[in-house]
Amino acid sequence: MNNLAITPEECSQGQLTPQHFETAITALRNDGYVILNNVVDCSHLQTLRERMLADVASILAREDAPFNFNTGNVQQDPPPFPPYLFRDVLLNDLVISLTRAILGPGVKNSYYSGNTALPGGKRQPVHPDVAQLWPDLEQPTPAFGLVVNVPVVDMDAQNGSTEIWPGTHLDPTCSIHEGSQRIPQTILEPRRAIYPPIQPTVPAGSVVIRDIRLWHAGMPNHTDQPRPMIAMIHWCSWWANDEPISFPKGTEEFFTHPILKTNARFVEGDINYLLHNKAYDLQK
């Protein structure tokens, strides 16, 4: 069971029922992902959606637009300042209870960006965001990073819901030591026969948590509207390869949380959030 209907009581108490907690942890450990429905206020998403859809044109106007793999998917940060900062997005207690349970004490968020699937784009190659840390593992290691995706619109196969390959976070075949994070076709096909990929329907208000090693791909968006999706990364405390996120001075209090540390840099003045990403492995 990977898709959980979270109740208003769980949201208001900031705590999953023991049964939901157990199911979510088992899904994350065994399949590498879980979807929590109804955990983000839709009015918050509407505020984000209006701004993010308006921002798409400015990002695409860049000569060096930050496309990922191909021009169908662009890296798009949400506006990192009020009135666009929401606790149920950035510091969601239900999400944190799970990421803390998997990643241990000192869990930290070091990423606040997103992916926008553009109308008419191609699919991405299947890839993990970070592969196994060691080559030729006999046993996969425990999780060290979890991606927390917050779709800003309803997401399904029509508008390019992310394709995910359940269980592949435990596959030892590909490590960070390979030149490319693209999973070769010769590995994909046998895997497909064991456990084929899925493209889940994810209503706005849901959060998808996935092991950062899980194979996945951005998919074509067959509609005429961009599909923005926020991405955060929760890391175990000892992960050292992360960068602080820039937020404006004056928002320090917002990020105070008893469990999740936000790896933030609080800066004076405007944050040029539409300029800071770079293209990744782009083959036009």
Ligand X SMILES: O=C(O)CCC(=O)C(=O)O
What mask of x and - would describe binding to ligand X in positions 4 to 43, judged by CB under 6 A? ----------------------------------------
Q: Is 208 in the site for ligand X (CB under 6 A)?
A: no
Question: Of the two residues 23 and 242, which places its CB atom closer to ligand X in the complex?
Answer: 242
Q: Which of 20, 39, 59, 73 binds ligand X (CB under 6 A)?
A: 73
Minimum distance from residue 25 beta carbon to ligand X (Å): 24
What is the residue type of 116?
A: T
Q: Is 277 in the site for ligand X (CB under 6 A)?
A: no
Q: Is 229 in the site for ligand X (CB under 6 A)?
A: yes
Question: Of the two residues 97 and 124, which places its CB atom closer to ligand X in the complex?
Answer: 124
Q: Which of 40, 90, 117, 214 binds ligand X (CB under 6 A)?
A: 117
Q: Which of 16, 27, 39, 68 binds ligand X (CB under 6 A)?
A: 68
Number of residues that bind ligand X (CB under 6 A): 9
Minimum distance from residue 282 beta carbon to ligand X (Å): 11
Is residue 219 within 8 A of residue 160, CB to CB? The reply is yes
Q: Using CB atoms within 10 Å of the CB of residue 223, give its burial: 0 to 12 exposed, 13 to 18 middle, 19+ buried.
A: middle
Q: With the CA atoms of 226, 271, 280 and 205 taken in that order, what torsion angle do they form, in degrees rounded to the nearest 10?
A: -40
Q: Is 216 in the site for ligand X (CB under 6 A)?
A: yes
Minimum distance from residue 138 beta carbon to ligand X (Å): 28
Question: Of the two residues 99 and 115, which places its CB atom closer to ligand X in the complex?
Answer: 115
Phi, psi of 13 (to 5 degrees): -85, -15
Minimum distance from residue 186 beta carbon to ligand X (Å): 21
What mask of x and - would describe binding to ligand X in positions 134 to 173, judged by CB under 6 A? ----------------------------x-----------
Minimum distance from residue 249 beta carbon to ligand X (Å): 31
Minimum distance from residue 280 beta carbon to ligand X (Å): 7
- Applying CB under 6 A, which residues contact ligand X? 68, 73, 115, 117, 124, 162, 216, 218, 229
